[in-house]
Structure 1
Amino acid sequence: MAHVTIEWTANLEGQMDVEALMSLVAADMRERADGVFPVGGIRVRAFRVDDYVIADNACADDAFINLDVKMGAGRSPEFRQRYFDALFARITGFLQPLSESRPLALSMYVKEAEGWKHNTIHDRLKKAS
């Protein structure tokens, strides 16, 4: 399980390719995480935030993008540090043109989560291979 929720401020509308950012994160989890995240458990979604206050609320150009990552327990601290450092660097690189053109706060938080799941996507993936 690796679920990523991306929140981005409405003032970025038309300036950021949200689909490309989601695809970057999902592909990274599939292809660069050494199989740690089962493909059928990867979820990436994005929500535009229409109501927000940033810093002193004095600059309409201030914007933020936040990624919240939830994953099942059991990944080693070494893996988490190495993998999420690299993922954050790739996301920062992807967003560099945007962050050079306006004030932008980028953050990513990673949490282990316990949950209950029922997922038949794994079955579909087994049949397809």
Structure 2
Amino acid sequence: MAHATVEWTANLAGEFDLDALMRLIADEMRLRSDGVFPVGGIRVRGYRVDDYVIADGTCADDGFINIDIKMGVGRSNEFRKAFFTALFDSVKASLSDVFDRRPLALSIYVEEAEGWKHNSIHKRLKG
């Protein structure tokens, strides 16, 4: 399991390619985790945030992109540090033009989560 939720402020509409960002995250999880994240458990979703206040609230151009990632318990600290540092660097690089054009805050938060799930996508991927 690796689920990522991308939250982005409405004032960034048209400023970046959300589909490309979500694909980048999914591809990193799929291709660069050495199988730590089962492909059938990867989920990436995006939510536009219409109501927000950033910093002192005086700059309408201030925006943020926050990525929350939930993953199952048990990945080593070494893996977590290496993988998520590389992911953050990839995401940051993909948004470099946005950083050049406007005030933007980027964050990634990672949480281990224990949960119950049922998933027949794994079966499809094996077949």
Q: TM-score range by the shorter chain?
A: over 0.9
Alpha-carbon separation, structure 2, partners of 1:43 and 1:99? 26
What are the Cα deviations for residues 15-51 of structure 1, in whole angstroms up to 9, with x where unaligned?
A: 1100000000000100011110000000000000000
Q: Aligned-residue CA RMSD in angstroms? A: 0.4
Question: What does residue 73 of structure 1 align with?
Answer: 73
Quote the sequence identity (%): 66
Question: What does residue 92 of structure 1 align with?
Answer: 92
Number of equivalences: 127
Question: Helix, strand or coil for the counterpart of 1:59?
Answer: coil
Q: Which structure 1 residue ranges, 4+ long, deviate > 6 Å from structure 2?
A: none
TM-score by length of 2: 0.99
TM-score by length of 1: 0.98
Structure 2 unmatched ranges of 5 or more: none
AA aligned opposite 2:71: M
Q: How does 1:9-88 map to 2 (within 5 A)?
A: 9-88=9-88
Alpha-carbon separation, structure 1, partners of 2:84 and 2:13? 26
AA aligned opposite 1:122: H
AA aligned opposite 2:118: H
Question: Helix, strand or coil for the counterpart of 2:37?
Answer: coil
Question: Helix, strand or coil for the counterpart of 1:111?
Answer: strand
Alpha-carbon separation, structure 1, partners of 2:119 and 2:88? 28
Structure 1 unmatched ranges of 5 or more: none
Alpha-carbon separation, structure 1, partners of 2:116 and 2:100? 41
AA aligned opposite 2:35: G
